[in-house]
Chain A
Amino acid sequence: MGDHHHGPAKGLSRWLYTTNHKDIGTMYLWFSFAMFLLGGAFAMVIRAELFQPGMQLVEPGFFNQMTTLHGLVMVFGAIMPSFVGLANWLIPMMIGAPDMALPRMNNWSFWILPPAFLMLASTLLMEGGAPAFGWTFYAPLSTTYAPPSVTFFIFAIHILGVSSIMGSINIIATVMNMRAPGMTYMKMPLFVWTWLITAFLLVAVMPVLAGAVTMMLMDIHFGTSFFSAAGGGDPVLFQHIFWFFGHPEVYIIILPAFGVISQIIPAFSRKPLFGYASMVYATAGIAFLSFIVWAHHMYTVGMPVAGELFFMYATMLIAVPTGVKVFNWVTTMWRGAMTFETPMLFSIGFLVLFTIGGFTGLMLSIAPADFQYHDTYFVVAHFHYVMVAGAVFSMTAAVYFWLPKWTGRMYNETMGKVHFWVSFIGFNVTFFPQHFVGLAGMPRRIPDYALQFADFNMMSSIGAFIYGMSQLLFLYNVIAAIVSGEKVSDEKVWDGAEGLEWTLPSPAPYHTFETPPKLEKQPAY
């Protein structure tokens, strides 16, 4: 057998030096879950303060630090790394490759993340406190008026950007070069397709974010005035640059989620995905549109009316490819033979709630109406429907779906179903009332509010505590499965699952597809 079939090294060095895509995927997934709990803890502080009108637990300045860190940790620490972890585990197994194309860079792109987040979290202990200017860090609140810790924040963002770019280059290189013979682009599983497109988005926009924070750094420390009108700059320029990154960023988060759902719904419908080709084109269409709609986040900054009209029309167009995706998923379910195990429940939860988030997105695209919605809780509700019920639900579905393949052990199905229903109810109790308070006039990012918002805020807080607690159930279920779950002997854990990863033994061996697989078993998409 020789050297090729050695197992993992022992002890800490296994994880520190590993170049194995499965080890790195595992580390990404655990790291992102830890960040999910940390960001969730910040959210609990926010909801506890908002439980009642009046200031009770924290000071307004600290409240702003919580909203800022909650957003940054969830976006950059929880959701993005979790999907990179999923990509690491799955892409090589789905395309029949032995590993990622650039394994050493893979190790590095993970290991620079923990120090970056340690640095970001440490700003909480610094004089002047952590960044308190919102995850969108608009200048000049984030420059001239920022706490001194902003410099550490900038450095952390730079490192995260480097990590994301390295991860993306790796995915692009892997998908383009390491597909098993016979796997043409239009035969790739949709999860691989969505990640390939996502990786291009990341490579395109992370440097833009790096540019924005570098300009901030120059403004703060080196006397430039990119974002200060007093020196000939423009605070609105910051918003244009930020959202040129930020809008593609939301598709970076959601496209891999689309990929996951496109794997799971066919599996539990026991029926091929409907409209594979149109799914690919719709994904590409959404990715293209994501570059020309950024200013819909800025309808109230005072753009010329022609600009408003352009961004409004372009934004409305996103509903077309997104609608195609939703229709395709529903049609995949149509006349299938469905069962409703936990991954399917979370996928259907995704489908329903993401669609609601899509509807509110369409409402927000209407510029004159957005003058009333902008920066209210209506927006908060909208983006939690797409980020939490979209990205996080699909990620949860993915963990339940592939966990038996990763570990060779089954999670507890009953507990999984309880997790779904508690999450689903908790999520809706949290975020549905936020549509109401937002429309009624409650601005976002305020630590205290007028009395007419009190009842719905209390509901929201109770829902948030329920949703938060339900994630501990998830953690327990996953650990219990790894430690003592029922062993899975089948290669194909789910009877409707299709794809190369399901041709491998469970658990998947440390090294897989050292010789490329033959593709007869590939599903006819």
Chain B
Amino acid sequence: MLNARALAATALLPLAANAQNQINMSTGISEAGAVITDLGAEIYGLHMLIFWICVAIGIGVFGVMLYSIYAHRKSKGVEPSQFHEHTGVEIAWTVVPFFILVLMAVPATSTLLEVYDNDDAEMSILVTGYQWKWKYEYLDADGENIAFFSNLATSQEQIYNTDTKGENYLLEVDEPLVIPVDTKVRFLITANDVIHSWWVPEIAVKRDAIPGFINEAWTRVLAEGVYRGQCTELCGAYHGFMPVEVHVVGQGEFNDWMAAKRGAAATDAALAATELPVDELMARGEDVYNASCLACHGANGEGGLGNAIAGSTIAMGGLDPHLNVIVNGVAGTAMQAFGAQLSDIDVAAVTTFQRNAFGNNTGDVVQASDVVSYKEG
């Protein structure tokens, strides 16, 4: 380890203070000593039980082997014995492991049944995996669903080593999932494109997000706090860059957050009905671009996984073809249909931005009403 640290010190940029090197599974207990989820603590216990059984067997097997290597070597002048079978011993080491396995299977079965107990949830959240972000939709009995996307918040500068990496490097998002404490939350998990997997180690929930199918998982988090995880199924180029961040808050704080979300949705709807000045559109468009476009099209529109936007014939040509690409995506490529992901006002803003940034000086201004009329054909 000294070696590794010495080498780390020679790196171009110092790493931020490292979190402690964790060497085992999340215990399901918070640093303050509170149980985070009962299930997480139970799974940790199961993990350690199997681990210690393996250690005990290992000590036996490796102990015999090491003793034999020490004592039964030719250089000690021993004569090799010629025994080569013993029915009793062979039956014993077939039967005894079988019973050890049964001992493991009993607690494993009961824990697994709990994992699958999705009944009696107090609220449901639809989690949808996209390349490369998560969408969270709070399902509401009155149909007033609240939905938003959760994008990686770590900057490209940190990823490409031109800026110091923050404490939660690659594990931070622009809009976290917020859930109330001590509430049974059911997750309905699916995907829009390829298979993803939604995982938060500390609350012990991992379930694949499969396009066209809906998986169920649940949690009841008992300790308020921030819990972080990542996508755990290879989902394309930026698989490593779609974290999960869950904020578990008190019921009151959750209600306030929900009210604020509803308010923001209403404001957006109102904005879409008005004409916004160019500078506001550009500012909003830049935010949307950074969250949704930058990963593939580059910080300066220079392209990357996607085509260049700077000087692009689409961004500088007619408005309808440009809106077509953004709203409907490009089939067979990683370019998604953002019409379903972004609000009309955001589509308008990012289109305006792309047509006037990176030297694309078309002077065009696109309003939400233009997007609405484009969508209506």
Interface residues of A (CB under 8 A from B): 52-56, 59-61, 64, 132-134, 138, 140-141, 144-145, 228-230, 234-236, 269-278, 300-302, 305, 308-309, 312-313, 316-317, 319-320, 323-324, 326-328, 330-340, 348, 351-352, 355-356, 359, 362-363, 366-369, 371-372, 374-376, 436, 439-441, 443-452, 454-456, 458-459, 462, 525
Is there contact, CB below 8 Å, between B51 and A320?
no
Tell me the chain B residues, 204-236 only, with Cβ under 8 Å from chain A: 204-208, 210-213, 215-216, 229-236
- Of B59-67, B255-263, B364-372, the one with at least 4 CB within 8 A of chain A: B59-67
Please pick, from B21, B50, B206, the residue contacting A374 in the complex, using a CB distance under 8 A.
Answer: B206
B375 within 8 A of A: no
Residue from B68, B158, B204 having most chain A Cβ neighbours under 10 A:
B68
Please pick, from A230, A277, A278, A436, the residue contacting B21 in the complex, using a CB distance under 8 A.
Answer: A436
Give the docked Cα–Cα distance between A334 and B83 (Å).
10
Give the docked Cα–Cα distance between A281 and B134 (Å).
49
A54-B165, A272-B82, A443-B230 known; A459 vs B213 contact (CB < 8 Å):
no
Tell me the chain B residues, 113-155 only, with Cβ under 8 Å from chain A: 113-116, 131
Is there contact, CB below 8 Å, between A60 and B238?
yes
Number of A-B contacts (CB under 8 A): 313
Is there contact, CB below 8 Å, between B11 and A52?
yes
A445-B239, A448-B159 known; A235 vs B195 contact (CB < 8 Å):
yes
Kindly report which residue of chain B lies nearest to residue A145, judged by CB atoms: B194
Residues of chain A contacted by B101 (CB below 8 angstroms): 316-317, 319-320
Task: Give the shortest distance, in Å, between A213 (CB) and chain B (any CB).
Answer: 18
Is there contact, CB below 8 Å, between B54 and A359?
yes
Give the docked Cα–Cα distance between A354 and B160 (Å).
38
Is there contact, CB below 8 Å, between B80 and A336?
yes
Interface of A is mostly: helix
Is there contact, CB below 8 Å, between B241 and A368?
no
Residues of chain A contacted by B86 (CB below 8 angstroms): 274-275
Give the docked Cα–Cα distance between A462 and B78 (Å).
41
A145-B236, A363-B54 known; A446 vs B230 contact (CB < 8 Å):
yes
Is there contact, CB below 8 Å, between B108 and A55?
no
Task: Give the shortest distance, in Å, between B88 (CB) and chain A (any CB).
Answer: 12
Task: Give the shortest distance, in Å, between B342 (CB) and chain A (any CB).
Answer: 21
A140-B195, A320-B98 known; A300 vs B208 contact (CB < 8 Å):
yes
Is there contact, CB below 8 Å, between A320 and B213?
no
Is there contact, CB below 8 Å, between B104 and A316?
yes
Is there contact, CB below 8 Å, between A369 and B43?
yes
User: Could you jot down 12 A-B contacts, CB within 8 Å?
Assistant: A138-B194, A145-B236, A229-B212, A235-B210, A274-B84, A300-B206, A320-B98, A324-B94, A338-B74, A372-B25, A372-B201, A455-B8
Report the contact-size class of chain B (Cβ under 8 Å from the partner).
Answer: 35 or more
Residues of chain B contacted by A301 (CB below 8 angstroms): 208, 210, 215
Kindly report which residue of chain A lies nearest to residue B113, judged by CB atoms: A305
Please pick, from A53, A273, A372, the residue contacting B47 in the complex, using a CB distance under 8 A.
Answer: A372
Taken residue by residue from 18 to 40, chain B's Cβ proximity to chain A (1 for < 8 Å, 0 otherwise) reads as 11111111100000000000000
Residues of chain A contacted by B213 (CB below 8 angstroms): 229, 234-236, 302
A319-B97, A439-B25 known; A330 vs B65 contact (CB < 8 Å):
yes
- Having A141-B195, A274-B85, A371-B206, one finds 9 other A-B pairs with CB under 8 Å, namely A53-B170, A64-B237, A271-B81, A324-B90, A368-B42, A371-B115, A371-B204, A436-B22, A439-B24
B46 within 8 A of A: yes
Please pick, from A338, A440, A450, the residue contacting B170 in the complex, using a CB distance under 8 A.
Answer: A450
Is there contact, CB below 8 Å, between A369 and B65?
no
Task: Give the shortest distance, in Å, between B294 (CB) and chain A (any CB).
Answer: 14
B58 within 8 A of A: yes
Is there contact, CB below 8 Å, between B239 and A374?
no
A138-B233, A368-B115, A439-B25 known; A455 vs B4 contact (CB < 8 Å):
yes
Q: Which 8 A-B pairs rank lowest in CB-CB distance, beginning with the nearest?
A: A229-B212, A446-B240, A302-B215, A452-B19, A440-B22, A359-B54, A272-B84, A61-B237
Residues of chain B contacted by A441 (CB below 8 angstroms): 22, 26, 201, 229-230
B271 within 8 A of A: no
B273 within 8 A of A: no
A327-B93, A462-B3 known; A368 vs B21 contact (CB < 8 Å):
no
Give the docked Cα–Cα distance between A301 and B196 (Å).
10
Please pick, from A55, A326, A336, the residue contacting B61 in the complex, using a CB distance under 8 A.
Answer: A326
Residues of chain A contacted by B353 (CB below 8 angstroms): none
Give the docked Cα–Cα distance between A177 and B111 (Å).
52
A324-B93, A441-B230 known; A336 vs B50 contact (CB < 8 Å):
no
B171 within 8 A of A: yes
Residues of chain A contacted by B170 (CB below 8 angstroms): 53, 448-450
Is there contact, CB below 8 Å, between A368 and B112?
yes
Task: Give the shortest distance, in Å, between A240 (CB) and chain B (any CB).
Answer: 13
Kindly report which residue of chain A lies nearest to residue B199, judged by CB atoms: A443
Give the docked Cα–Cα distance between A331 and B72 (Å).
12
B376 within 8 A of A: no
Kindly report which residue of chain A lies nearest to residue B231, judged by CB atoms: A443
Task: Give the shortest distance, in Å, between B124 (CB) and chain A (any CB).
Answer: 16
Task: Give the shortest distance, in Å, between B114 (CB) and chain A (any CB).
Answer: 8
Kindly report which residue of chain B lies nearest to residue A355, judged by CB atoms: B61
B105 within 8 A of A: yes
Is there contact, CB below 8 Å, between B84 and A138?
no
Task: Give the shortest distance, in Å, between B248 (CB) and chain A (any CB).
Answer: 17
Please pick, from A54, A64, A230, A375, the residue contacting B159 in the complex, using a CB distance under 8 A.
Answer: A54
Taken residue by residue from 168 to 187, chain B's Cβ proximity to chain A (1 for < 8 Å, 0 otherwise) reads as 11110000000000000000
Is there contact, CB below 8 Å, between B158 and A54?
yes
B264 within 8 A of A: no
Is there contact, CB below 8 Å, between A55 and B206?
no
Residues of chain A contacted by B235 (CB below 8 angstroms): 141
Residues of chain B contacted by A455 (CB below 8 angstroms): 1, 4-5, 8, 18, 21
Task: Give the shortest distance, in Å, between B79 (CB) and chain A (any CB).
Answer: 6
Give the docked Cα–Cα distance between A230 and B54 (Å).
45
B354 within 8 A of A: no
Give the docked Cα–Cα distance between A439 and B240 (Å).
17
Is there contact, CB below 8 Å, between A369 and B46?
yes
Kindly report which residue of chain B lies nearest to residue A269, judged by CB atoms: B80
Kindly report which residue of chain A lies nearest to residue B132, judged by CB atoms: A60
B269 within 8 A of A: no
Residues of chain A contacted by B8 (CB below 8 angstroms): 52, 454-455, 458
Residues of chain B contacted by A336 (CB below 8 angstroms): 68, 72, 80-81
Is there contact, CB below 8 Å, between A450 and B46?
no
Is there contact, CB below 8 Å, between B80 and A352?
no
Residues of chain B contacted by A355 (CB below 8 angstroms): 58, 61-62
Give the docked Cα–Cα distance between A399 and B50 (Å).
36
A367-B108, A375-B197, A441-B201 known; A459 vs B90 contact (CB < 8 Å):
no
Is there contact, CB below 8 Å, between B25 and A55?
no
A330-B68, A446-B239 known; A368 vs B46 contact (CB < 8 Å):
yes
B283 within 8 A of A: no
Give the docked Cα–Cα distance between A172 and B90 (Å).
29
Please pick, from A54, A332, A335, the residue contacting B160 in the complex, using a CB distance under 8 A.
Answer: A54
Is there contact, CB below 8 Å, between B116 and A448?
no
Residues of chain B contacted by A334 (CB below 8 angstroms): 64, 68, 72
A54-B159, A352-B62, A451-B15 known; A320 vs B7 contact (CB < 8 Å):
no
Please pick, from A138, A452, A462, the residue contacting B18 in the complex, using a CB distance under 8 A.
Answer: A452
Is there contact, CB below 8 Å, between B165 and A53?
yes
Kindly report which residue of chain A lies nearest to residue B77, judged by CB atoms: A337
Kindly report which residue of chain A lies nearest to residue B65, judged by CB atoms: A330
Residues of chain B contacted by A60 (CB below 8 angstroms): 237-241
Is there contact, CB below 8 Å, between B73 and A339?
yes
Is there contact, CB below 8 Å, between A323 and B97?
yes
